[in-house]
Amino acid sequence: MSSAADIARELDEGLRELFQAGLELSLQVQAHAMAAEPAEQARLSLTFHRLSRGVGQTAALRMKLAREAERSGRETAAEVVSLDKVRLAKRKAHVKAAVECLIWTEAESDEAEADLKAELEDLLDIETQDAETFEAEPLDTQIARLAWVIGLNDPPPQGEVSPEATEGVAAHEPPTPRPSTPSPPSAELPLTALRAGGASEDDDAGRSSA
């Protein structure tokens, strides 16, 4: 299936050939009219007028098609640029939000947080000037790199906890001992206990009779 560009190119080639043929024929008729008798000259002049009018219309149509193709090309280019800007803006916003989350976690004061955010903004403005390189870098790697550049700790890999997050916990918060659960009383006493209990009762009875 031919595209719009292919069809436009074929039309332009056809119109170019038609324009060239009409122009040559018009010039021939004009030359014959100049050499003809007055009566024949009038007829050839009318023919020349009609041919030259068709040549002019063909030239105007070619120019119209060329301008439409040029305008379509500009619109397509502008649409591509617009889509590229939107994609770059989304990537920048994603990276900015992720690094700012780390800033909020690690900043020791509001002033430090503001300074780090300003530094991040300047860094993003510089890096997004080369949109192709900025978007080609893996997202997780990019976030970790930018965080490191502005002085933050690298974010821990997914599923792991940063050592800084648990540092000092053992020294200040000893682990809570597991509460011991008392064993339920047995329904039957062990045989040794019964024997011990029986021997004790017999001994007491013997001591009483004595």
Q: Is 210 helix (H, G, I), strand (E, B) or coil?
A: coil
**Which residue, 120, 136, 155, sits at the end of a domain?**
155
Residue 191: inside a domain: no
147 burial via Cβ count (<10 Å: 0-12, 13-18, 19+): buried
On whether residue 168 sits in a domain, the answer given is no
What's the confidence (pLDDT) of residue 163?
41
Q: How many other C-beta atoms can be found within 10 angstroms of the C-beta atom of residue 41?
A: 14
> Is the pTM for the entire model greater than 0.95?
no
User: Rounded distance, CA 94 to CA 90, Å?
Assistant: 6
Query: Along the chain (210 residues), what's the average pLDDT of each consecutive run of 10 residues?
Result: 72 87 90 85 88 90 85 82 89 93 89 91 91 91 92 57 37 38 44 44 46
**Where in the sequence is the domain holding 65, given as residue range(s)?**
4-77
Q: Which region, left, alpha or beta, applies to residue 162 given φ > 0 means left and ψ of -120 to 50 means alpha?
A: beta
Residues whose CB falls within 8 Å of the CB of residue 58, separated by 6 or more in sequence, listed in order: 15, 18, 19, 22
Q: What is the DSSP letter of 151?
A: T
Give the model's pLDDT for residue 188: 44
Mark whether 99 and 121 lie in a shared domain.
yes
User: Which pLDDT score, from 0 to 100, does residue 67 have?
Assistant: 85
* In a shared domain, residues 53 and 97: no
Indicate whether 58 belongs to any domain. yes
Contact 79, 89 (CB under 8 A): no
Domain identity same for 11 and 72 = yes
The number of distinct structural domains making up the chain is: 2
Q: Which is nearest to 92 in space by CA: 117, 123, 128? A: 128
93 and 148 in a single domain? The answer is yes
> Which stretches within 128-188 are classed as H helix?
131-136, 139-149, 163-166, 169-172
Nearest by Cα to 103 from 150, 162, 164: 150
Final residue before a domain boundary, out of 45, 77, 109? 77
Give residue 126's pLDDT.
92
Same domain, yes or no: 116 and 54: no
- Please give the pLDDT value at position 206: 46
Whether residues 12 and 59 share a domain: the answer is yes
Please report the pLDDT score of residue 124 as a whole number.
93
